[in-house]
Structure 1
């Protein structure tokens, strides 16, 4: 039987949500288009979607578009909150009217977020800042940085972080990561709420491969290779569910072409998979998460409108004792995107956000 939810002081709950809304206002995303230089030269090496390649060998080179040149309207579009308007309205209504959503899933998601904050922040009555010293953050930080094997990190992140933020905590870890492991978390030996199983996706005629973690209605992929490079540079001339990729090479999300290509390919394929098996969805903007023990980067692709979006790289921890509120609220929205994601806005559809994937590979979408 699950433990009863702890009661949370009313005023403090509102402080938490206000800080959550404030932090998400600064969460930036950028539209991506397939590299125009390569296209102009008819260099097909900018994208190998027309051939059979695993995700780790995928090529999907892009550049950030459109160039805003100081255009304030375009700058405003580059906010994560624009594609999560349903979630923003839910949190705003809670602050103004103290009302939780009627939808059971959305209500449970908000309660999960509040309970996560309560468990992770000390002295909730006295503190008004969201960035407090937290014992749970210290434990999580130590757990993911002191692992014996890199393959343990996806399990630890799923058990201690991701499953705490999603409505359904059940998940599937790639069975090839199991080895001789039991179904217990390697850092605390608690029984996992997930299992090991098949996480393969895609078609062998195009991009395909295994993902690291699958949540119910949220596809989490944990990839390999992240670092602290500035992620503002384009790749010019050169990488309902959520995919989360864990980077096996320790550190922040690496700005390497290879890992970014992998993330984009997985994101594009999964959007088509969702549309094929769930054609009645309200929209097909599918999220994808790249995550390491230090950093998070979000991707989104809408196969109906051919729009590919990438967030800035965000730190998971502010310090060894502080969790990053901005990153947590971003993860929470994405993991619960079936309740909170409003999809591509009309301004994005007409604002030059088209990626060019369907234009260059119109015949391949039926093979995915």
Structure 2
């Protein structure tokens, strides 16, 4: 009996041993599977790390190439600046021939000084010129009038000089019956359009040169241009005045003065390009209309050879013609801004409907006379009204539409045209998408109370306008009703040829074919540009 029990126990024990072995084996297999999974994950991580390392190496290679390219560009820029400094030094030496060595050393040009300062990267305490920031409070007072076109010949084959563009300021009246007599002009604040630019200037107020170098490349280069100009502003004032002062010969002047040749419009254009606009523009690059008469070197004595080229824009079937100066963008491969120079801008007198040269207006107007309803401009022009040319309006619209055609993805389509004369500047802007036409009042180029000194406000305004791609944000409306109030009606008036204006405009054209058209003489007097702030609760006057 005992033997039988022993026999039964042995198989049961054997079964238990087999079960333990199988469990142990399963455990080993599971651990092996987990180990293989971990190895596979590690291999994938290694592959990913290798991929990231290769990408980093590739990125570093591209960054190195970019740095090398930037260094070469900087070397090229320094070479051009050195050439310019050599020319200016030669001019100074010629001017001061016969002066002692001690006096000659004292007359080192501001451009030479600032050139050394820029190269001295260890001088982290170098501050930006204070004149830049003294202008900021005055910029908040500047306004643009919003214009409406009544009729124009934009659908005809007309050169800019024959452009017929009747415009007036958009008027707003109160909706309440008892207040309908309250009529105001619609305008836009300069600080609204150029908010990014003013914010950037405010940000730079407490910065030094090293801080600026760490900013966005476009903003950094723009600020260096402005600061460099203010550092050498005295030299440029002297050059501009030397050209402008020969504008007219009055009785009582010395015989040598009366024999001086009065500057041509080309002389004035070259002076502005070399000693003001071109110095502030992106890349300091410009092209002057090659059709300009009596082309030559700058008359100030710097002997710089200006760059002439084809500046024709438009289309022969509509508005077309040549611009006085076209400025390039940052990459120097495309046109960005335009400017037109006049020997005398004119002002319209609303009481007599006649035109008076600005210089005469400035002398004859009573200083106690009330300013326009819009309040004082940044230069406090005392005239009763200001006017602008139909030619400038046409040029602005065509150039804006051309920019829209070539760069449809630009976020801001408010494109400027700068009008300059020896006394004043004026800014006209057109938004080709929203059909908005703006025009500023005249701005004094030189300080009224400091004869011979360029106005810092005018310089900063020109700088902001020339760099509008990074400093202008355009207009943003809350609804379509507000947007419609600001429209100029040009797109409606040009509807017949709208396909040409949006798809077929040309640039850098040396000449346009002549289409035989009847020429109509325009005897219309330009409308008055006065304005006050847009008043909510008012509607457009019909």
Structures share fold, TM-score greater than 0.5: yes
Residues of 1 paired with 2:361 and 2:468: CA distance?
22
- Aligned residue among 292, 296, 306 for 2:425: 296
* Distance apart, 1:23 and its partner CA: 2.1
Pairing partner for 2:192 from 71, 75, 82: 82
Alpha-carbon separation, structure 1, partners of 2:124 and 2:231: 9
Structure (1 or 2) with the greater helix fraction: 2
Per the alignment, residue 489 of structure 2 pairs with: 356
Task: For 1:120-269, list aligned pairs within 5 A.
Answer: 120=233, 134=234, 136-146=236-246, 147-177=262-292, 179=294, 181=296, 184-192=297-305, 194-217=306-329, 218-224=336-342, 226-227=344-345, 229=347, 260-269=389-398
Shift of 1:262: 0.4
**Correspondence for 2:152 among 47, 55, 72:** 47
Residue 366 (structure 1) aligned with residue 499 (structure 2): yes
Report the structure number with the largest CA radius of gyration.
2
CA shift in 2, pair 1:78/1:164, >3 Å: same
1:6 corresponds to: 117
Match of 2:134 among 5, 19, 35: 19
Residues 228, 253 of structure 1: 8 Å contact kept: no
Residues of 2 paired with 1:359 and 1:332: CA distance? 33
Greater relative contact order structure (CA < 8 Å, 6+ sep): 1
Instruction: Note closer, same or farther for the CA distance 1:63–1:148 as it changes in structure 2 (3 Å cut).
Output: closer
User: In structure 2, do the counterparts of structure 1 residues 51 and 79 end up closer, same or farther at CA, with 3 Å as the change threshold?
Assistant: same
Q: Distance in 1 between matches of 2:199 and 2:429?
A: 21
CA contact (8 A) 2:239 2:271 kept: no
Q: Distance in 2 between matches of 1:92 and 1:265?
A: 35
SS of 2:340 mapped into structure 1: coil
**Pairwise CA RMSD of aligned residues?**
3.4
**Cα pair 1:28 1:79 within 8 Å, conserved:** yes
Q: What is the deviation of 1:173? A: 0.9
Per the alignment, in what secondary structure is the counterpart of residue 497 of structure 2?
coil
Gaps of 5+ in 2: 1-78, 83-114, 247-261, 330-335, 363-384, 502-542
Q: In the comparison of the two structures, how many residue pairs are matched?
A: 326
Q: 1:252 to 1:216 in 2, by over 3 A?
A: farther
Instruction: Note closer, same or farther for the CA distance 1:51–1:31 as it changes in structure 2 (3 Å cut).
Output: same
Query: Which segments of 5 or more consecutive residues in structure 1 lack a partner in the other structure?
Result: 36-45, 121-133, 239-248
Q: Displacement, 1:177?
A: 1.6
Distance 1:325 1:348, change over 3 A: farther
C-alpha change, 1:227 and 1:265, in structure 2 (3 Å) is closer
CA distance in 2, matches of 1:311, 1:68: 22
Stretches (4+) displaced over 4 A: 7-12, 74-77, 96-99, 249-257
- Given the alignment of the two structures, is residue 64 of structure 1 paired with residue 173 of structure 2, yes or no? no
Conserved 8 A contact 1:178-1:196: no
Change (3 A) 1:256 1:340: closer
Contact 2:346 2:358 in 1 (8 A): no
What is the deviation of 1:226? 3.3
**TM-score after normalising by structure 1:** 0.78
TM norm structure 2: 0.54
Secondary structure at the aligned position of 1:168 is classed as helix
